[in-house]
Amino acid sequence: MNTEIVKIDPRAIDQKVLARAGEILKNGGLVAFPTETVYGLGGDALNAQASQKIYRAKGRPSDNPLIVHIADMESLEAIVERTPPEAYVLAERFWPGPLTLILKKNGRIPYETTGGLDTVAVRMPSDAVARALIKASTGYIAAPSANLSGRPSPTEAAHVKEDLDGRIGLILDGGAACIGLESTIVDLTEDVPTVLRPGYITLEMLREALGEVRIDPGLIADDAKERPKAPGMKYRHYAPRANLKIVEGESDAVVREINRQTKELLSHGAQVGILAAEETKLRYEAGTVISIGAREDERVIARHLYGSLREFDALGVDAIFSESFSAAGVGQAIMNRLLKAAGHQVLEV
Ligand code: AMP
Ligand code: MG
């Protein structure tokens, strides 16, 4: 299959391109498209075969459910058993935006879309292209991140092409994703609302809106005893090809240790990448340094994380050392993704 990238300007959406993409979706085909979080690989969420195509194209395990993207509240009410009051509170504050809600599904969403679960994940994105595409489709687009399973999520159309070339027909290129990390997932099917995946909407923001909010214990534990409730969180994920290690500790000690290990690996003929903050990037004496952004602006770090990991892939490095970043606010999501990308290899210095 030939994979075409078509540019689409979010401020002046080409209606011909949009109609073509909408038709592909309505006919059970796949289209990759931009959202404010990361690029999604879309298929009709009401069509079991379309969902199966998504799993095949990504090489995604079929027990890992898809998020259903909608453009209005009526669409939510039409696919769930009940819309609890918390859903309205969160939708009012954070939709359209980077928040996914887990609710009990009704019969309209097939089990192929929910990985066999009786619950469904629903999000209303804010990106103009994503919203227009949902309206040009059946109103329900199932879309996981548009990467091959396990790889860093795509934040640009070129990343999608890298992973899915020949596997899908059309990629809509609406420019770089402005957030760069996947949505926060909140489960509203339990007594207490529970965060299953941290994201741009932080725990503090959710608590301010709802009062008590828990974090899924399976998310924090890095052993196998507690299984995360979001099936996708149990897989190794977001990983670059090279072995990635996080070095954690006081800044001088971190720089010293990364310099030491980098020189040692270089002396054995290996290529080494270093993921550093803007403040420390000039302190590395060898290896290829990529600055992820200044520590004071975690939003910039979030936006650059996946692209930086892919850049190391393009450079063909054998090993990557990363500094550790603050886990406060959006930092919780950044460190969650970085730790998974590193397979939880952390060196304390
Ligand atoms: P992705 O779209 O690739 O960012 O992945 C979607 C994430 O949402 C995965 O971690 C899934 O396991 C999670 N997810 C989707 N639907 C549900 C659900 N019904 N219950 C729990 N987690 C879900
Ligand atoms: Mg994903």
pLDDT by 10s per residue, the chain, length 349: 899 999 999 999 999 999 999 999 999 999 999 999 999 999 999 999 999 999 999 999 888 999 999 999 999 999 999 999 999 999 999 999 999 999 999 999 999 999 999 999 999 999 999 999 999 999 999 999 999 999 999 999 999 999 999 999 999 999 999 999 999 999 999 999 999 999 999 999 999 999 999 999 887 655 556 677 877 776 667 888 999 999 999 999 999 999 999 999 999 999 999 999 999 999 999 999 999 999 999 999 999 999 999 999 999 999 999 999 999 999 999 999 999 999 999 999 9
Q: For residue 198, report the distance from its CA to the centre of ligand 1, in Å.
A: 12
> Quick one: 11 and 129 in the same domain?
yes
Torsion sign, CA atoms 242, 218, 105, 92? negative
Residue type, 12: A
- Residue 238 has a pLDDT of 83
Closest CA to 217 of 244, 180, 192: 192
- In terms of Cα–Cα distance, which of 341, 330, 346 is closest to 249? 346
173 shares a domain with 24: yes
Ligand 2 centroid from CA 151, angstroms? 8
Q: Among the three residues 215, 233, 267, which one is the final residue of a domain in this structure?
A: 215
Site to substitute for ligand 1 among 35, 102, 112, most atoms within 8 A of C-beta: 102
- Let me know whether 43 and 188 are in one domain: yes
Q: Looking at residue 224, what is its pLDDT?
A: 52
Residues with CB under 6 A from ligand 1: 64-65, 67, 102, 114, 117, 119-121, 144-145, 182, 185, 196-197, 229-233
CA–CA distance, 125 with 71 (Å, rounded to integer): 7
pLDDT for residue 217: 86
Q: Is 272 found in the same domain as 190? A: no
Say which ligand is closest to the CA of 100. Answer: 1
Same domain, 207 and 314: no
**Is residue 131 one of the residues assigned to a domain?**
yes
Domain of 193, CATH number, reads: 3.90.870.10
- Within this chain, do residues 339 and 267 fall inside the same structural domain, yes or no? yes
In-domain check, residue 220? no
Which residue's CA is minimally distant from atom 2 of ligand 1?
A: 144
- 212 C-alpha to center of ligand 2: Å? 27
Instruction: Mark whether 82 and 33 lie in a shared domain.
Output: yes
Ligand 2 centroid, distance to 346 Cα (angstroms): 23
Q: Using a cut of 0.85, tell me whether the model's pTM lies above it.
A: yes
Ligand 2 centroid vs 153 CA: distance in angstroms? 6
| Same-domain check for residues 247 and 179 | no
Q: Does some domain include residue 284?
A: yes
Residue nearest (by alpha carbon) to ligand 1 atom 22: 230
In this structure, is residue 234 part of a structural domain? no
Q: What atom of ligand 1 comes closest to residue 38's alpha carbon?
A: 4
Instruction: Give nearest CA residue, ligand 1 atom 1.
Output: 144
Q: Which of 134, 70, 74, 57 is nearest to 97 (CA)?
A: 70
What pLDDT is attached to residue 236? Answer: 67
Residue 222 located in a structural domain: no
* Radius of gyration of the chain, Cα coordinates, nearest whole angstrom: 20
Nearest CA owner, ligand 1 atom 7: 232
Task: Judge if 252 and 210 occupy the same domain.
Answer: no
Whether residues 205 and 308 share a domain: the answer is no
Query: Measured from the CA of 229, which atom of ligand 1 is nearest?
Result: 21
Task: Tell me which of 155, 196, 219, 306 to substitute to probe ligand 1's pocket, judged by most ligand atoms within 8 Å of the beta carbon.
Answer: 196
Expressed as residue numbers, the domain containing 343 is: 243-348
Assess if residue 139 is contained within a domain.
yes
Query: Are 210 and 261 members of one domain?
Result: no
Torsion of CA 9, 15, 16, 19, to 10 degrees: 110
Q: How far is the CA of 144 from the centre of ligand 2 (A)?
A: 5
Angle between helices 203-210 and 85-94 (to 10 degrees): 130
Write down the pLDDT at residue 220.
64
Instruction: Dig out the tokens for 290 from the structure.
Output: 């990529």
> What pLDDT sits at residue 297?
92
Q: How far is the CA of 306 from the centre of ligand 1 (A)?
A: 19
CA 86 to ligand 2 center in whole angstroms: 25
Q: What is the count of structural domains for the chain?
A: 2
Task: Choose the final residue of a domain: 200, 215, 230.
Answer: 215
Task: Looking at the structure, tell me whether residues 29 and 135 fall in a common domain.
Answer: yes
Q: To test the ligand 1 pocket, which listed residue (38, 39, 64) has its Cβ within 8 A of the most ligand atoms?
A: 64
Residue to mutate, 119, 185, 190, 306, ligand 1, most ligand atoms under 8 Å from C-beta: 185
Q: Is residue 307 part of a domain?
A: yes
pLDDT recorded at residue 221:
56
- Answer yes or no: are the C-beta atoms of 56 and 174 closer than 8 Å: no
Domain of 265, CATH number, reads 3.40.50.11030
Nearest to 247 by CA among 207, 277, 286: 277
